[in-house]
Structure 1
Amino acid sequence: MSWQQLHLQCPKDKVDFAEALFYEEGAVSIILEDAGDEPLFEPMPGEEPLWQDVVMTAIFDTNSDDRFDGTDFEGMASTIAAQVGATRFWTTRLDDKDWSREWMKHYQPVKCAGNLWIIPEWLDAPDPDAINLILDPGLAFGTGYHATTRLCLDWLSAQDLTDKVVIDYGCGSGVLGVAALLLGAKSVLAVDIDPQAVLATKQNAALNGVTDRLQVFLPEEFVEYRKQHGEPVDTITANILAKPLISFAPYFSTLLKDGGSIVLAGLITNQTQEVIDAYTPFFTLDAAFNYDKPEDSHWHRLSGTKKVA
């Protein structure tokens, strides 16, 4: 069995129209990709950014739709391309696979600093005696593959977290909070704006047997929890984006003990100084750290301690 794919390149203001035409013709899935090399970062809530020039791929189940032989499909593709003013279009055949498992082959165990490994849940640990964090990487951000996650995991591995209480703000998959617990933390309070991240964190906590020491909240739930349990914590991790990190600087200072530690990531080179400026009134920060790997060198990590009031 195989599927037909229609690819076309069009400006972003034609994407909605093209999607409507694709679905009208029976597309079962549509993929959007950058037609150039334009960076596009994780959006803030309510934002829907898109590249200026987009390659759209629509997938059609031609096996169950007898409207399409080769000629008919090419004709349909040409018509849609003309209607949306596509600069180019082409078609390809997609062989049938077990797509529910196909993505799994791209994941392998990740070795972090110290003795910490991130292990996809369907794979065996290369070193059974290591600190092995079992992860379902398909649910939310935070697989151990992205440089920002690795920067935070490496920092956590170098800390003495014994009996510490940690806040993982912007927890995603929960990988940082679960890692902190496996590295000796007493408990973790995890927070994220995405309900899917809340679910992912709970599931990954269960995979690692730390559910009893990890609580996870949406932000408004966390605010209510803090009204009842307002004790300052020992450590905060926040692997999010520069804008929210800047806005959270005063708030994070209220959550942390004097002398408590903080690690911030999700920053690119030209954002680092602005984040440093926002945190300097409240925290003593170390120098920004980034990997020397060329493909990751634009991502930076900041860490430090809360100033004594």
Structure 2
Amino acid sequence: MPFLELTLRCTEATQPRYENALEDVGALAVTLLDAQADTSNERAILEPGVGETPMWDALVLSALFPHDADGLLLLAALEAFDDGLDWSTVSFAAVEDQDWERVWLDQFAPMPFGQRAWIVPWNHELPEAAQAADAAVVRLDPGLAFGSGTHPTTALCLRWLDGLAGEGLLQGQRVLDFGCGSGILALAALKLGAAEAIGVDNDPQALIATADNAERNGELPRMHVYLPQDEPVATYPVVVANILASALDALADLLAARVASGGRIALSGILHGQEDDLLKRYATWFDDLQATQDGDWMRITGVRRA
């Protein structure tokens, strides 16, 4: 079934009012894109830190309506709902329905990370290399993919976990994935030999996604998920936090306290140029601090001081 698509440009400050107005007049779906980049080079918004909702400064907002909706009547209704908004930039277009999950799957191919780790769509055939006896394969559901391994911050953490496994530092260990999103890092750790994984996220939907992906991968009994306020106080030999630099700074004391003496930590979601302040911040607790770059993004790793 085709749809009528309404598109307009707005700012972060006005976006909630535009979205409320569109939903009030019957929008079936509303999506947001970075107005400063085309869709092939869109600036990633990572999973937010506690209490944060990051957003682009300028946005392109699109809303879908039934194909037989009258554009002029919609505009009149929108102006009546909130006449303080500027609707002069609105454009309309007819769009055909698509199997969006199929489109996503067509763009998401199996991906290797390091020596053994693989991320594969749940219904995609395994590449020959991923069928090796020691391959650590995580299957993801595209419908719940908060993180799919395609972003450099996730890839940096996956390669780090793969490297730990290669050194025998994951086998039988408990792992904390702080800001777990889809659970991709916790699941990779389990597949690479960890005994148990704890996922923490401030978004309840992320915990649902993590549990769903854990069940799909046969790892639900070894995966435990919590909101930050419900997380049991414990220490772990391996901690990974792929969030944002500001959150890593704000949560430094908490994250440091979660790493057992001699344990390893990986911090990601850090833009190049933000790493120096975080290296100084975490030097209070960690030795062997190293910063690794992938494109515009950084990963910091360290060993908890005794």
TM interval, short-chain normalised: 0.7 to 0.9
Residue 294 of structure 1 is matched in structure 2 by none
Residue 265 of structure 2 is matched in structure 1 by 262
Residue 290 of structure 2 is matched in structure 1 by 287
Give secondary structure in 2 for the equivalent of 1:85: coil
Residue 211 of structure 2 is matched in structure 1 by 202
Mapped pair 1:162 → 2:174: no
The Cα shift of 1:254 comes to 2.4
Residue 182 of structure 2 is matched in structure 1 by 173
Mapped pair 1:6 → 2:6: yes
Q: 1:99 to 1:210 in 2, by over 3 A?
A: closer
Q: Which amino acid aligns with 1:305?
A: V
Cα distance in 2 for partners of 1:234, 1:148 equals 21
Give the alignment's Cα RMSD to 1 decimal: 2.7
- Give the counterpart of 1:193 among 202, 206, 215: 202
Q: 1:98 to 1:251 in 2, by over 3 A?
A: closer
Residue 104 of structure 2 is matched in structure 1 by 103
Q: 1:21 to 1:257 in 2, by over 3 A?
A: closer
Contact 1:290 1:300 in 2 (8 A): yes
Q: 1:113 to 1:33 in 2, by over 3 A?
A: same
Q: Which amino acid aligns with 1:22?
A: L
The total of aligned residue pairs comes to: 290
- Unaligned segments of structure 1, at least 5 residues: 292-296
Residue 240 of structure 1 is matched in structure 2 by 243
Contact 1:118 1:133 in 2 (8 A): yes
Residue 29 of structure 2 is matched in structure 1 by 29
Contact 1:6 1:92 in 2 (8 A): yes
Give secondary structure in 2 for the equivalent of 1:171: coil
Cα distance in 1 for partners of 2:190, 2:9 equals 47
The Cα shift of 1:34 comes to 2.8
Cα distance in 1 for partners of 2:21, 2:213 equals 39
Give secondary structure in 1 for the equivalent of 2:231: helix
Q: 1:196 to 1:150 in 2, by over 3 A?
A: same
Cα distance in 1 for partners of 2:226, 2:17 equals 38
Cα distance in 1 for partners of 2:54, 2:258 equals 32
Cα distance in 1 for partners of 2:17, 2:198 equals 43
Give secondary structure in 1 for the equivalent of 2:61: strand
Mapped pair 1:90 → 2:99: no
Q: 1:258 to 1:52 in 2, by over 3 A?
A: closer
Contact 2:119 2:138 in 1 (8 A): yes
Superposition TM-score, scaled by structure 2 size? 0.83
| Bigger Cα Rg | 1
Mapped pair 1:183 → 2:192: yes
Cα distance in 2 for partners of 1:109, 1:268 equals 26
* Higher RCO, 1 vs 2 (CA within 8 Å, ≥6 residues apart): 2
Give secondary structure in 2 for the equivalent of 1:125: coil
Cα distance in 1 for partners of 2:11, 2:231 equals 41
Contact 2:279 2:289 in 1 (8 A): no
Contact 1:253 1:282 in 2 (8 A): yes
Mapped pair 1:136 → 2:138: no
Superposition TM-score, scaled by structure 1 size? 0.83
The Cα shift of 1:184 comes to 1.0
The Cα shift of 1:243 comes to 1.8
1:31-46 equivalences under 5 Å are 31-37=31-37, 41-42=45-46, 43-46=48-51
Mapped pair 1:150 → 2:159: no
Q: Which amino acid aligns with 1:290?
A: Q
- Unaligned segments of structure 2, at least 5 residues: none
Contact 1:10 1:87 in 2 (8 A): no
Q: 1:277 to 1:175 in 2, by over 3 A?
A: same
- Give the counterpart of 2:281 among 278, 282, 291: 278
Cα distance in 1 for partners of 2:256, 2:13 equals 42
Q: 1:86 to 1:238 in 2, by over 3 A?
A: same
- Give the counterpart of 1:303 among 281, 298, 301: 301
Contact 1:74 1:91 in 2 (8 A): no
Q: 1:78 to 1:121 in 2, by over 3 A?
A: same
Q: Which amino acid aligns with 2:171?
A: T
Cα distance in 1 for partners of 2:188, 2:196 equals 11
Identity %: 34
